[in-house]
């Protein structure tokens, strides 16, 4: 495929010194997700052979294929939920254990497909074996929340709802810019989306900061979406270079604001950590707990003094004489 040349001296080209565009992060599919498709295809003989059976066999074979296909659909959704769970550092367990229900339906489907009057025990054994093999092949659903210790669940739900709205605005921007037919603009919007999703990830880790960043996830992204839709309609008809420059300037300004907000949240977390460490050290000193290599002070007033880095790294004169 032909690729347009761009460089430092090309019209509207990208400087060779500029960093390459960062691709927008996309969730990776689960490595076992393709197995569900093949198992569904292997169940097609139940569907085809159903019309050559007696009424009982017809119902049994149709139920077998329907149960097997539904079980694989639930298993595929469970694998997708597990992949999203593993990709995040802070995540809740899935509300519905889809892989568990998928395994049960798979076992019921194979039991119904192998049902023969007078041999119910054999069909039950096949169903149980199918459920066990499903568990061995796909594993179990995540049953515990991850990284949720000390996080307000109400704030977490609120953050997920607002982040979902912001993600919808980003998707609308990327869909709208495709109407221009310009790959460079598409990549530019992708860079902005990647920067915004970094802020999304930071909010997911600490939903307590959602109030300070709500306008970034709502008002700013909604305005960027509306501007992108209007620009795409205009640029697709006129190819106005001035409109393109203004739009790229707008994206750059928004990208700087989102990146600055993400850095500020990270710095705030570092400051809060320093405060917690300082408060904990003061409490330990008031309780008379000191490092093992530090002698107990004779003056009780010294217990109230805050511990410094020099107290931990620089030995006292008495320690030198003792050694």
**Res. 182: pLDDT tops 90:** no
Range with top average pLDDT, 177-186, 277-286, 297-306: 177-186
pLDDT of residue 10: 44
Q: How confident is the model at residue 12 (pLDDT cuts 50, 70, 90)?
A: very low
Cα–Cα distances (Å) from 21 to 14, 34, 54, 232, in that order, read: 10, 31, 63, 20
pLDDT of residue 31: 83
**Res. 322: pLDDT tops 80:** no
**239-286 per-position pLDDT tens digit:** 888 888 888 888 888 888 888 888 877 776 555 555 566 656 666 666
Strand partners, 91: 146
pLDDT of residue 155: 64
Residue in the block written with tokens 């097609």 = 44
Residue in the block written with tokens 């953050």 = 159
CA 293, 295, 300, 301 torsion-angle sign: negative
CA 45, 50, 54, 55 torsion-angle sign: positive
User: How many other C-beta atoms lie within 10 A of the C-beta of residue 251?
Assistant: 21
Lookup: tokens for 175: 């869909």
Question: pTM of this prediction?
Answer: 0.53
Domain boundaries, the chain: 33-138, 153-282, 290-322
**42-85 per-position pLDDT tens digit:** 989 888 888 888 888 888 889 999 999 999 999 999 998 888 88
pLDDT of residue 20: 43
Strand, coil or helix: what is 119?
coil
Q: Measured between alpha carbons, how far is 101 from 71 in angstroms, rounded to an integer? A: 7
Span 148-176, mean pLDDT?
A: 76
User: How many other C-beta atoms lie within 10 A of the C-beta of residue 260?
Assistant: 10
State the helix-helix crossing angle for 98-113 and 120-138, rounded to 10 degrees: 150
- Close Cβ partners of 168 (under 8 Å, ≥ 6 residues apart): none
Span 182-200, mean pLDDT?
A: 88
Of 142, 144, 143, 141, the C-alpha closest to 75 is 141
pLDDT of residue 7: 46
Span 27-41, mean pLDDT?
A: 83
Cα–Cα distances (Å) from 184 to 14, 179, 223, 280, 284, in that order, read: 9, 13, 21, 52, 58
Percent of the chain whose predicted confidence (pLDDT) is above 90: 15
Between residues 88 and 23, which one has the greater pLDDT? Answer: 88
What's the mean per-residue pLDDT of the chain? 75
Between residues 140 and 90, which one has the greater pLDDT? Answer: 140
pLDDT of residue 222: 84
């Amino acid at each position: 495929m032909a690729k347009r040349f761009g460089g430092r001296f090309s019209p509207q080209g990208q400087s060779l010194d500029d960093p390459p565009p960062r691709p927008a992060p996309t969730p990776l599919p689960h490595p076992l997700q393709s197995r569900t498709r093949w198992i569904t295809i292997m169940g097609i003989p139940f569907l085809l052979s159903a019309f050559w059976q007696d009424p009982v066999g017809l119902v049994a074979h149709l139920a077998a294929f329907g149960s097997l296909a539904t079980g694989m659909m639930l298993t595929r959704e469970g694998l997708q939920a597990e992949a999203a769970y593993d990709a995040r550092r802070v995540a809740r367990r899935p509300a519905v254990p889809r892989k568990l229900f998928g395994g049960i339906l798979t076992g019921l489907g194979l039991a119904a497909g192998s049902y023969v009057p007078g041999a119910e025990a054999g069909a039950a054994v096949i169903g149980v074996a199918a459920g066990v093999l499903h568990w061995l092949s796909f594993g179990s659903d995540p049953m515990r929340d991850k990284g949720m210790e000390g996080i307000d669940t109400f704030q977490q739900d609120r953050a997920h709802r607002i982040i979902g709205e912001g993600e919808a605005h980003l998707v609308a921007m990327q869909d709208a810019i495709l109407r221009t037919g310009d790959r460079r603009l598409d990549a530019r919007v992708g860079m902005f989306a990647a920067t915004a999703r970094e802020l999304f990830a930071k909010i997911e880790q600490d939903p307590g900061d959602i109030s300070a960043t709500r306008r970034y996830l709502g008002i700013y992204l909604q305005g960027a979406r509306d501007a992108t839709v209007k620009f795409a309609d205009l640029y697709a008809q006129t190819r106005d270079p001035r409109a393109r420059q203004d739009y790229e300037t707008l994206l750059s300004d928004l990208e700087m604001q989102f990146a600055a907000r993400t850095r500020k949240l990270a710095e705030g977390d570092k400051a809060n950590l320093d405060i917690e460490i300082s408060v904990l050290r003061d409490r330990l000193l008031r309780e008379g707990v000191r490092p093992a290599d530090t002698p107990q002070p004779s003056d009780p007033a010294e217990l109230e003094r805050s511990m410094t880095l020099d107290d931990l790294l620089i030995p006292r004169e008495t320690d030198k004489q003792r050694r």
